């Protein structure tokens, strides 16, 4: 907490959000009356930093079903991600995982010792137990998505098959993230919280996943390269270097930055759909659950844009204070549209006029602005309110001594 405040010291609205978050009455979820549920939410909190909070804030009707949807797919992904498992062993598990989730007592101990979520699979019998207690309608949706995702992962894990074209990139992201969007939309509709339209718009549901996954893939370039995973499409990186690893060579810095802005433009193309999807979501807890990951993604893209660090450091992440601020401000579609406008402007302001994608980025940012002004007119007032908050404690763009002192006092009180 103290280090989070320190990192946000030059951003007074984040210090405020952090302090409010810290002081908020702990509505700690109590699962102690049910041993299985306690273990399941323990696994959720262990395996996800970003999704655990939004899942636990869902209404009761959907909370357990979506928690188990997450845990089942995280289990599958933990087999996909492990590069120490031989392919002839890995592929059958990926392809049959949708059947494994019906086998009471099944566990998996073959992950390498350093695989981050290996414990989830070691205790996977708990996940299966929870899955089998869900309403059949939710079980069917989860099993169907697991089958399709597992087969897609198996296809791309197969030796000699790679992400080459931009269509491959969209297809791979569809399997691992777009399908999650489809399944969630079906669950929202099945619960009766959302209209049948939400499940029907598979194109928009897919884009919800693609925007998140492409942002992660862009951010995690170095980590994936180190672990021998290649998700940036050759159709993009091949325009700048001969071999993907050359992007990290200091003499290719300018090309690497051009390639990065190409990846950023490619991800931003989904924002139009994301805004349209969010405008369909009526239930308040579903809305926050959907919106928070998306605003974190655009904040992350803003951090990545023109940032050479992604080629030199493995942990480029937005500040904790920024995350907490975004969670606090994402409660309705006007505020979310305002957040998208705020970050689109920052992204555009950072663009390099000499970059080949300067105009493309300007066009997309202008489009976001125009969509928001016409469809969410309330976002203009929200934007002014957010900007007033962001500029709080500044005078002529310079942070005042008073604001820094206020932040330092907050810091001292937390340490004390």
Q: Catalytic residues, which ones?
A: 172, 219, 229, 289
156 binds ligand D61 (CB under 6 A): no
216 binds ligand D61 (CB under 6 A): yes
Taking residues 278 to 317 in sequence order and writing x for each that binds ligand D61 by CB under 6 A, - otherwise, the string is -----------xx--x------------------------
- Per DSSP, the three-state class of 399 is strand
From the list ligand D61, Mg ion, none, which binds 73 (C-beta under 5 to 8 Å, kind-based)?
ligand D61
143 binds ligand D61 (CB under 6 A): no
From the list Mg ion, ligand D61, none, which binds 267 (C-beta under 5 to 8 Å, kind-based)?
none
Strand partners, 395: 398
213 binds ligand D61 (CB under 6 A): yes
Identify whether the C-beta of residue 120 lies closer than 8 Å to the C-beta of residue 127.
yes
Binder of ligand D61 out of 177, 280, 301, 338 (CB under 6 A): 177
Residues 81-100 that bind Mg ion (CB under 5 A): 81
- Per DSSP, the three-state class of 398 is strand
117 binds Mg ion (CB under 5 A): no
Number of C-alpha atoms within 13 angstroms, CB side, residue 95? 11
If we measure between CA atoms, which residue out of 48, 67, 47 comes closest to residue 59?
Answer: 67
If we measure between CA atoms, which residue out of 416, 410, 413 comes closest to residue 7?
Answer: 410
Count of other CB atoms within 10 angstroms of residue 351: 19
Residues 47-86 that bind ligand D61 (CB under 6 A): 51, 66, 69-70, 73-74, 77, 81
Binder of Mg ion out of 80, 194, 322, 329 (CB under 5 A): 80
- Contacts with ligand D61: how many residues (CB under 6 A)? 21
Identify whether the C-beta of residue 258 lies closer than 8 Å to the C-beta of residue 189.
no
170 binds Mg ion (CB under 5 A): no
Rounded to a whole number of angstroms, the minimum distance from the CB of residue 177 to ligand D61 is 4
Spell out the SS3 assignment of 89-102. HHHHHHHHHHHHCC
- Closer to Mg ion by Cβ: residue 33 or 114: 114
From the list Mg ion, ligand D61, none, which binds 177 (C-beta under 5 to 8 Å, kind-based)?
ligand D61
Helix 358-375 crosses helix 333-350 at what angle (to 10 degrees)? 160
Identify whether the C-beta of residue 54 lies closer than 8 Å to the C-beta of residue 46.
no
Rg (CA), the chain: 22
Residues 371-410 that bind ligand D61 (CB under 6 A): none
Round to whole Å and give the CA distance between 273 and 10. 33
- Per DSSP, the three-state class of 335 is helix
Binder of ligand D61 out of 181, 321, 393, 407 (CB under 6 A): 181
If we measure between CA atoms, which residue out of 83, 82, 81, 54 comes closest to residue 67?
Answer: 54
Helix 253-268 crosses helix 202-219 at what angle (to 10 degrees)? 160
Q: Which residues contact 223 (CB under 8 A, 6 or more apart)?
A: 314
Binder of Mg ion out of 14, 64, 77, 329 (CB under 5 A): 77
Round to whole Å and give the CA distance between 387 and 334. 14
- Closer to Mg ion by Cβ: residue 191 or 215: 215
From the list Mg ion, ligand D61, none, which binds 115 (C-beta under 5 to 8 Å, kind-based)?
none
Rounded to a whole number of angstroms, the minimum distance from the CB of residue 105 to Mg ion is 26
209 binds ligand D61 (CB under 6 A): yes
Rounded to a whole number of angstroms, the minimum distance from the CB of residue 138 to Mg ion is 23
Round to whole Å and give the CA distance between 344 and 368. 7
- Closer to ligand D61 by Cβ: residue 50 or 395: 50
Round to whole Å and give the CA distance between 279 and 268. 18
- Closer to Mg ion by Cβ: residue 41 or 172: 172
Rounded to a whole number of angstroms, the minimum distance from the CB of residue 392 to ligand D61 is 30
Rounded to a whole number of angstroms, the minimum distance from the CB of residue 214 to Mg ion is 14
Binder of ligand D61 out of 94, 184, 225, 327 (CB under 6 A): 184
Binding stretches for ligand D61 (CB under 6 A): 51, 66, 69-70, 73-74, 77, 81, 176-177, 180-181, 184, 208-209, 212-213, 216, 289-290, 293
């Amino acid at each position: 907490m103290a280090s989070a405040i320190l990192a946000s010291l030059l951003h007074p609205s984040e210090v405020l959000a952090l302090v409010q978050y810290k002081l908020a009455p702990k509505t700690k979820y109590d699962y102690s009356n049910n041993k299985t549920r306690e273990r399941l939410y323990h696994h959720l909190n262990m395996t996800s930093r970003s999704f655990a909070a939004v899942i636990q804030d869902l209404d009761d009707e959907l909370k357990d079903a979506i928690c188990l949807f997450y845990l089942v797919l995280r289990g599958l992904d933990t087999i996909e991600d492990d590069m120490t498992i031989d392919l002839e062993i890995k592929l059958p598990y990926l392809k049959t995982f949708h059947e494994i989730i019906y086998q009471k007592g099944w566990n998996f101990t073959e992950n390498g010792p350093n695989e981050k979520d290996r414990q989830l699979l070691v205790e996977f019998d708990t996940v299966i137990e929870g899955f089998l207690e869900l309403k059949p309608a939710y079980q069917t949706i989860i099993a169907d998505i697991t089958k399709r995702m597992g087969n897609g992962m198996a296809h791309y894990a197969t030796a000699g098959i790679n992400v080459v074209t931009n269509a491959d990139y969209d297809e791979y992201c569809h399997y691992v993230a777009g399908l999650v969007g489809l399944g969630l939309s079906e669950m929202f509709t099945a619960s009766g919280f959302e209209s049948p339209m939400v499940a029907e718009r598979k194109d928009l549901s897919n884009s919800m996943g693609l925007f998140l996954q492409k942002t992660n893939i862009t951010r995690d370039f170095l980590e994936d390269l180190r672990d021998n995973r290649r998700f940036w499409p050759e159709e993009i990186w091949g325009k700048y270097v001969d071999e993907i690893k050359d992007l990290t060579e200091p003499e290719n810095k300018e090309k690497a930055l051009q390639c990065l802005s190409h990846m950023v433009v490619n991800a931003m193309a989904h924002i139009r759909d994301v805004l349209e999807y969010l405008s369909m979501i009526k239930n308040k807890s579903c809305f926050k659950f959907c919106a928070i990951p998306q605003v974190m993604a655009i904040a992350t893209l803003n951090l990545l844009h023109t940032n050479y660090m992604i080629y030199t450091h493995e942990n480029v992440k937005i500040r904790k204070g920024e995350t907490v601020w975004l969670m606090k401000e994402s409660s309705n579609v006007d505020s979310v549209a305002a957040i998208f406008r705020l970050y689109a402007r920052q992204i555009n302001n950072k663009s390099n006029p000499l970059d080949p994608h300067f105009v493309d980025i300007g066009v997309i940012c202008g489009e976001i602005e125009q969509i928001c002004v016409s469809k969410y007119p309330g976002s203009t007032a929200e934007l002014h309110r957010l900007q007033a908050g962001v500029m709080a404690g500044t005078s002529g763009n310079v942070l005042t001594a008073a604001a820094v002192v206020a932040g330092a006092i907050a810091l001292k009180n937390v340490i004390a």
